[in-house]
Amino acid sequence: MPERGALTVLCLHEAGTSGAIWSALGEALADHATVLKPDRPGWGETEPPEGYERTTVTEQAGFAAAIIQSRGPAVLCGSGIGAVAAIELSLAEPELVAGTVLIEPPLLSFATDATSQLTLDVATVRDAVSAGGREAALDAYLTGGLPALGPGASRIPKELAAGGPRAASALFAELSAVPAWERTDAELAASTTPSLIVLAADSPALLRTAGLGLSKVLGRSELRETEPGLPHVANARELAAYVDEIAVQPT
C-alpha cells in the first residue's frame, strides 16, 4: 500500500451519473490517497462548455489532464467513457499517468456481434426522442433500453443517476464519442502505462467481450474480476485493492 497521502487517484465517471458514484471508492482509499471525483462536463455540478453538442474521447481526456497537470502522475480510475478517456490520456501524455484501472471499458469494436444491437439502439433513441424528447432517451439509457449504447447503465443506483435537460444533452453529446475514437491496435499495444481491466462477475456480455478483447491488445494490461455488481459501487474495497496494486507497479 502506498504511503499516506502519497497517492493521487483521479476518478472519471461513466455517462448517466456524476462524480458522486465514486464516493465508496473514495472512502475505501481515504486513509492513504487523495481521491479526486470531478463531475465531467454536463454532469452533476459541472457546466458544459458553450455550444456543447458533441464531444470526443480526446476532449474528455483533456478535461482529466487539466485536473492533474500540476499534481504529478496520478492513477486514473475510469468507468464507461471515463475508462476510454483514461486510456487516451495514458497514450497521449503518459508522464501524467502512473497507471489506469479501467472498469468495463465499452470498446465495442472488440465485440463484433454488437453491430446489429447498435443499429437497434439508434432506432430506440430516435423513437424515444420523437415520443418524449431527449429526456426520454436518457431514461431509456438508464433503464437498460440501450444495450449497446449504454451497456450496464441500468446498474447505476437511482439515487446516483443523473436527470433533467442538461444531463440529457450531455448524454447526446457523448453517445458517439467512444464509437468514433480512433486508436489502432498498434498504438494500444505500444502503451507503457500499467493497466488493470476490471470486469464484474455479472458484467453484461458485450462489456465482457470488449474487456477481454482489449486485454489481448493493450500493452502492460491485465484482467481482474470483482464480485457481482457495479465494481465501483458494490465492490469498492475490492476495487481499492486494485488501485493500490497498480499504484506500486513500475512505470
Residue-wise pLDDT tens digits, 147-184: 999 999 999 999 999 999 999 999 999 999 999 999 99
Q: Rounded to an integer, what distance in angstroms lies between the CA atom of residue 164 and that of residue 139?
A: 10
- Domain boundaries defined on the chain: 7-111+175-247, 113-164
Superfamily of domain 7-111+175-247 in the CATH hierarchy: Alpha/Beta hydrolase fold, catalytic domain (3.40.50.1820)
Task: Let me know: does 6 contact 35? Beta carbons within 8 Å.
Answer: no
Q: Which residues pair with 102 in a beta bridge?
A: 78, 197
Residue pair 211/111 in contact (Cβ under 8 Å)? The answer is: no
Which pTM does this prediction carry? 0.96
DSSP state of 53: S
Residue with cell 480526446: 58
Each residue's pLDDT tens digit, 94-139: 999 999 999 999 999 999 889 999 999 999 999 999 999 999 999 9
